[in-house]
Structure 1
Amino acid sequence: MKTVIQVVQHLRPGGIEIIALDLAAFAQADEKTIIISLEGDLHSAVAAWPRLKPFSEQLIFLNKQPGLRPALLLKLLRIIKKTGADAVHTHHIGPLLYAGLAARLAGIKHLIHTEHDAWHLNNSRRRLVQRRAVSLIRPILVADAQTVADNMRTFLQYKNKITIIRNGIDSEYFTPGNKIMARAFFNLPSDVQLIGCSGRMEKVKGQSVLIHALSKLPVTVHLALAGSGSTETALRTLVNLLRLNNRVHFLGHIDNMPTFYQALDLFCLPSLNEGLPLSPLEAQSCNIAALVTDVGGAKETLCPDSSQFIAADDCTSMAETLLQMLHNPSNNKPRAYVKQHGDVRLMARSYAGLRGPLVTSGECYE
Structure 2
Amino acid sequence: MTPHRRLHIVHTEASCGWGGQEIRILEESRGLIARGHRVTIVAPASSNIFKRAAQWGVPAVALPLTKKRLGPLLALRRWLAVHAHDIDVLNTHSSTDSWLAALAVRMLPGAARLPIVRTRHISAPVHASAANRWLYARVARHVVTTGEQLRRELIDNLGVASEAATSIPTGIDTTRFAPGDKLAARAQVGLAADAFWVGIVATLRSWKGHSYLLEALAALPDSIRLVIVGDGPQREALRQKVAALGLEARVHFAGEQKDVAPWLRALDVFALPSYANEGVSQSVMQAMASGLPVVTTAVGSMRDIIDNRHTGLLVTPKDATALADAIAALHADPAAAQLLGERAHAFALERCGLSRMLDRMESIFMSAARAR
Range into which the TM-score falls when normalised by the shorter chain? 0.7 to 0.9
Given candidates 8, 33, 39, the residue that maps to 1:33 is 39
Identity of aligned residues (%): 23
Task: Determine the structure 2 residue equivalent to 1:166.
Answer: 169
Tell me the distance in 2 between the aligned counterparts of 1:29 and 1:234. Answer: 43
Q: CA deviation at 1:109?
A: 5.8
Q: CA deviation at 1:67?
A: 4.5
Q: Is 1:331 matched up with 2:336? A: no
Task: Determine the structure 1 residue equivalent to 2:227.
Answer: 224
* Offset from partner CA, 1:234-258 (integer Å, 9 cap, x none): 1111111111111111111111200
* Offset from partner CA, 1:251-289 (integer Å, 9 cap, x none): 111112001101100100011111221000111111112
1:342 alignment partner AA: C
TM-score by length of 1: 0.87
Report if aligned partners of 2:285, 2:348 keep a CA contact under 8 Å in 1.
yes
- Counterparts in 2 of 1:64 and 1:109: CA distance versus 1, 3 Å: closer
Q: CA deviation at 1:111?
A: 2.4
Task: Determine the structure 1 residue equivalent to 2:54.
Answer: 53
Tell me the distance in 2 between the aligned counterparts of 1:160 and 1:261. Answer: 37
Q: CA deviation at 1:152?
A: 1.7
Report if aligned partners of 1:90, 1:99 keep a CA contact under 8 Å in 2.
yes
Q: CA deviation at 1:79?
A: 5.0
Structure 2 alignment gaps of length 5 or more: 1-5
- Counterparts in 2 of 1:320 and 1:65: CA distance versus 1, 3 Å: closer
Tell me the distance in 2 between the aligned counterparts of 1:357 and 1:240. Answer: 54
Task: Determine the structure 2 residue equivalent to 1:307.
Answer: 312
Tell me the distance in 2 between the aligned counterparts of 1:317 and 1:61. Answer: 45
Q: Secondary structure at the match of 2:119?
A: strand
Q: CA deviation at 1:349?
A: 0.5
Task: Determine the structure 1 residue equivalent to 2:210.
Answer: 207
2:88 alignment partner AA: D
Q: Secondary structure at the match of 1:196?
A: strand
Task: Determine the structure 2 residue equivalent to 1:246.
Answer: 249
- Mean CA deviation greater in 247-256 or 174-183: 174-183
- Counterparts in 2 of 1:193 and 1:44: CA distance versus 1, 3 Å: closer
2:160 alignment partner AA: Y
1:3 alignment partner AA: H
Q: CA deviation at 1:303?
A: 6.2
Report if aligned partners of 1:6, 1:33 keep a CA contact under 8 Å in 2.
yes
Tell me the distance in 2 between the aligned counterparts of 1:92 and 1:34. Answer: 16
Report if aligned partners of 2:65, 2:96 keep a CA contact under 8 Å in 1.
no
Report if aligned partners of 1:276, 1:296 keep a CA contact under 8 Å in 2.
yes
Tell me the distance in 2 between the aligned counterparts of 1:130 and 1:290. Answer: 35
Report if aligned partners of 2:201, 2:230 keep a CA contact under 8 Å in 1.
yes
Report if aligned partners of 1:281, 1:302 keep a CA contact under 8 Å in 2.
no
Structure-to-structure mapping, 1:348-363, within 5 angstroms:
348-356=358-366
Task: Determine the structure 2 residue equivalent to 1:321.
Answer: 326
- Mean CA deviation greater in 261-270 or 148-157: 148-157
Q: CA deviation at 1:166?
A: 1.7
Q: Secondary structure at the match of 1:26?
A: helix
- Mean CA deviation greater in 163-172 or 107-116: 107-116
Tell me the distance in 1 between the aligned counterparts of 2:143 and 2:203. Answer: 27
Task: Determine the structure 2 residue equivalent to 1:290.
Answer: 294
Q: CA deviation at 1:17?
A: 0.9
Tell me the distance in 2 between the aligned counterparts of 1:19 and 1:81. Answer: 24
Task: Determine the structure 2 residue equivalent to 1:281.
Answer: 285
Q: Is 1:262 matched up with 2:261? A: no
Structure-to-structure mapping, 1:5-24, within 5 angstroms:
5-10=10-15, 12-24=17-29
TM-score by length of 2: 0.86
Report if aligned partners of 1:165, 1:347 keep a CA contact under 8 Å in 2.
yes
Structure 1 alignment gaps of length 5 or more: 359-366
Tell me the distance in 2 between the aligned counterparts of 1:256 and 1:180. Answer: 17
- Mean CA deviation greater in 335-344 or 2-11: 2-11
Q: CA deviation at 1:298?
A: 2.1
Q: CA deviation at 1:186?
A: 2.5
1:33 alignment partner AA: V
- Counterparts in 2 of 1:251 and 1:141: CA distance versus 1, 3 Å: same
1:151 alignment partner AA: E
Task: Determine the structure 1 residue equivalent to 2:3.
Answer: none
- Counterparts in 2 of 1:79 and 1:327: CA distance versus 1, 3 Å: farther
2:175 alignment partner AA: E
Tell me the distance in 2 between the aligned counterparts of 1:193 and 1:311. Answer: 23
Task: Determine the structure 1 residue equivalent to 2:64.
Answer: 63
Tell me the distance in 2 between the aligned counterparts of 1:217 and 1:253. Answer: 26
Q: Secondary structure at the match of 1:72?
A: helix
Q: CA deviation at 1:150?
A: 2.1
Tell me the distance in 2 between the aligned counterparts of 1:228 and 1:256. Answer: 14
Q: Is 1:156 matched up with 2:158? A: yes
Task: Determine the structure 1 residue equivalent to 2:124.
Answer: 119
